[in-house]
Structure 1
Amino acid sequence: MTPVRTSIDRQVFAEGRLSIGLTLPLLRAGQIVADFREQVELAALADALGFRALWVRDVPLNSADYPDPVGHLDPWVLLGALASHTTRIALASGAIVLTLRHPLHIAKGAGSVQTLSNGRFMLGLGSGDRPPEYAAFGHDAEERRELYRAHWDTLAAALGEVPHVMPDRRREGAPEFMLLPQPPLPVPMLAVGSGGQSVDWIARRSIGWMTYHRDPDTQRARHSMWRAAVDRLPAPAFRAFGVAMRLDLSDDPHEPAAPLPLGYRAGRHALIAALDDMRDSGTHHVTLNLNSQRPVREVMEELAADVLPHFHG
């Protein structure tokens, strides 16, 4: 099944260019309780400042054993609020846990956000990386690869250009089902992480592949693997490559970049150089997970004034 592209994912992913987005919630370093009314205000600010995408995570359960103590809103509730308070910026899930939710429920949520946002939604999908959660939801973590593939196919059918519902079971005489209202545009589907699948499987079905930041040499190797999979497609096609990156933006614009887990601490000049290198290596989008002692608005405004123009033109 050929993946669907729309104007909104072309705004985020374009050949030879790099766009910049933000991952919610937007918090100062060490802050673990989010004021989500403020988050919606910050999302509106990101829209006004020219960031290209807002990414929302799906964290079903929390545990004292997990490294992320932040309490995340249900993604569909938050995406609905974002759709109502923004006008231009792309909204993306990064990522809905495809294996722990019924695909028809995901399709209903995705179509609803696409309708509320007037076609600005991209559906990022992952398999989840916390095996204890599978047991909590009555699933076996060893089945996640098969669940991911089966649920993806059901979703792609429900959200495609000619949408149709594929029931899990079909009783004799059962009616044909449909999902209404039909959104103004099909919903682009994006793989976030591998979901236990090969890059060839992802390249055939997804508009692109989002992954976590890694050191430059490792990232270049992953991108080369991705490009090889795209080149093996039966017909020439564009497939996006994106990265989620942690950023501690220094208040000294000349501070050199220093590696952090999943990102960098850097002044803006070193950040621009690192993003230039990522673009030249084939990355099409970077979503920044801000992690600084500086006020979030201050960091956003510096990025908008001094970094975004270099890439968004």
Structure 2
Amino acid sequence: MKYEEMKTEGNTSTVTEFVLQGFSDLPNLKKLLFGLFVIIYMIVLFGNGLIIIITKFDPALQKPMYFFLGNFSSLEICYVTVTLPRMLKDLWTKDRSISRVECAMQMYFFITLGSTECWLLAVMSYDRYVAICNPLHYPLVMNHKVCVLLAVGSWTGVIPLQIWQTCQMFSLHFCKSKEIKHYFCDLLPVLKLGCGNTSIQEVTLYIAALVFVVIPFMLILVSYSKIIGTILRLPTATGRAKAFSTCSSHLMVVLLFFGSATITYLQPKSMQSPGTDKLLSLFYTTVTPMFNPLIYSLRNKEVIAALRKLFLKK
């Protein structure tokens, strides 16, 4: 396969086209993987699409909790669409090349949507904190205007730093190799291809990880420590079970997403390997979005009732 190259100063060359390794090391499993990922993509679209529909149109779900859940499901569809269709195309065809511009665009949307997810999960935990710890003030604190502002802030507040991070990453000369050892243009695999001094990009990466992963996760921990403390002080077992059921599904999603993402981006360099990174990335880019609608529907009686109502109408 031919790769486009561009001459630069000092008789070096920088890559203007990459190749995604994807699952080329598993040639005998390509058809199986293609079928599996098509099914996963359909489940993500269908499951999260249903959540969006019922949270938008069911009168019983016109509450802040479900407003954020609808936003979260919309985000999951966008998040998976950034990587999965491209991966399916690479599995179906033999051409795994991707231009520098396409790679930069994929990276930007992936890290922006991933950062939005972190902050939206933090906002959802704050919503549960107010609902359980300050129930009398909940309608006042979490009014429609505040909910909209929190959602818009989660979607747009991450954009400036992620534009800067993407520009920093692609200001590098990529002359070490042309093959990205991943199935999409993720930060760490692309950074490994850079030649010269990459310290600025590494510092930017850790700043972004702090702002978009560590801080939201710490806010979630604070919220849930207060929520658990309040639940344990409730006088009846029935009250404790009901209170915990309203936030247990969100807590499961938080642990699944942040657990795999934290291991991927914050593990020491000595422990990083392309195979492990791909496996962990698959978990938080495809598996978690697939299971999220199931987690929220199975553990929420109002969502189950809304789904039952929707299908009975059909």
TM-score (norm 1): 0.24
Higher helix share: 2
When Rg is computed on C-alpha atoms for both structures, the one with the higher figure is: 2
Which has the larger strand fraction? Answer: 1
